[in-house]
Amino acid sequence: MKKFLPILILSFVLSISSQVLAAKVGGCAALVAQTVCQGEPVTLRGTLVGMIAGEGLVFESDNGEKISLCGLGPAWYWRKLGVQRPRLGDQIEIMGYRLELQNGQKIVVAREIRLADGTLVTLRDQDCYPEWLKR
């Protein structure tokens, strides 16, 4: 029993820490406490119109809805693919998952992005695991 107590305490602390982080930080960082694939699958077309530090990009869909777009992955992943990461003003198509975070913020986590030139970039596999974390 003594051997399991530290493990139990550590598990509890990590669980609480991620929930507190998600509640305080918001945006993309709050995904610590979310499961991406449980979101509503969506396909959206529109334009990147802004950036919010710690929350991701602002995407305006063709119907005028402004959405926080998360999960594009690190810049080095895009360089490794030999593809330029989308910039403000770019028109793109997003296939991903719409989520509502614990703080009420609604976001879309990208699984795939089709760039204006037709290039399709896969960011997450079918299980929503980030491609850039695979070896």
Residue ranges per domain, the chain? Answer: 4-133
DSSP 54: T
pLDDT at 128 over 50: yes
Round to whole Å and give the CA distance between 41 and 112: 11
pLDDT at 75 over 60: yes
- Write the pLDDT tens digit of every residue in 33-67: 347 888 899 999 999 999 877 668 899 999 999 98
Helix, strand and coil in the chain, % to nearest 5:
30, 35, 35
Round to whole Å and give the CA distance between 95 and 112: 5
Q: Do the beta carbons of residue 115 and residue 92 sit within 8 Å?
A: yes
Nearest to 35 by CA among 53, 16, 22, 20: 22
Superfamily assignment of 4-133 in CATH? Bacterial OB-fold (2.40.50.200)
- Write the pLDDT tens digit of every residue in 2-15: 554 444 343 433 33
Q: Do the beta carbons of residue 29 and residue 105 sit within 8 Å?
A: no
Averaged pLDDT score across all residues of the chain: 77
Round to whole Å and give the CA distance between 134 and 113: 18
